[in-house]
Every structure is written in C-alpha cells, then in structure tokens.
Amino acid sequence: MTELYDPEIYRPEIRNFKIKYKETGVILIDPKKEYTILQDTNNYKCIMINRDISDMVDFGSREKGESVPVGPLGRYGSIYGRPEVFWQNEVCTLRVAAADPEEREGFVLNQMEMWDFAGDRRNEINGRADEP
C-alpha cells in the first residue's frame, strides 16, 4: 500500500529526539500575541512559541486508553530556520515552529539563558555560576 504522506514529516518518532524542552512558566505578552517560553535542558537556549498553540496540549483531557503526550521535545533541524517543538501520543502529533523573536524578546530570551529552569544543576555560562 502506498502512503499518502511521508511519516517522517507527519508522524516522526519523537522519542528519539535529542532536545528536551522545559516550560519555564514565563509568558511574554505583546500587543498582538502571548508567547510561552521553553528552555532546552541541554544548553539553556530559550525559545518562544505561541501560547495559543502550547495551551492546546492538555495532559488531563484524554480519551479512554489514550496515553499522556510525550513532549515538549525537539530535534536538531528546523522549519524555516527556527527550532521545531513536538508533543505526541498514539493519537496525534503536534508540531510547532518557534516564533521569531524581535529585539525586545531576543534580549529577554538571552537573559533567561543564564538560568536553569529545570532546577537540577547549576548554570555556568560565561564564567558565571547562578543558583536556580
């Protein structure tokens, strides 16, 4: 049987992805949109995604027998030069491109990279050690 779509694009195996994102709890609000900030737990790099999209992932609302979504995870690669974030279970895959930060948001993201939002280790960037 011929597949109508490429499974690697529409249903990748995200459990093999190398990037695990942590939701920081920080929300950036601009006049047009709100953004949720995620931090790569490997290198502290922060990205922002549209909050309306991140709020679509509801870990408590599932059909009988449906598992909890895995994610947010990412892979080294990108959509239009921006990181991509995935949530997935056996029913569905949500794939999101990170928003492109403007100057103000870029400054905030850079400052947030000095902190470890996962809270499991000290962050030592540019010779500076901070407690989470």
**Domain boundary assignment for the chain:** 7-115
> Is the CB of residue 86 less than 8 Å from the CB of residue 21?
no
> Is the CB of residue 22 less than 8 Å from the CB of residue 117?
yes
pLDDT of residue 35: 95
pTM of this structure: 0.78
pLDDT of residue 23: 92
Length of the chain measured in residues: 132
- Torsion over CA of 5, 65, 72 and 15, rounded to 10 degrees? -60
pLDDT of residue 108: 93
Q: Which is nearest to 49 in space by CA: 40, 36, 30?
A: 36
Mean pLDDT by 10 residues, the chain (132 residues): 57 76 92 93 92 84 80 78 85 86 92 84 49 44
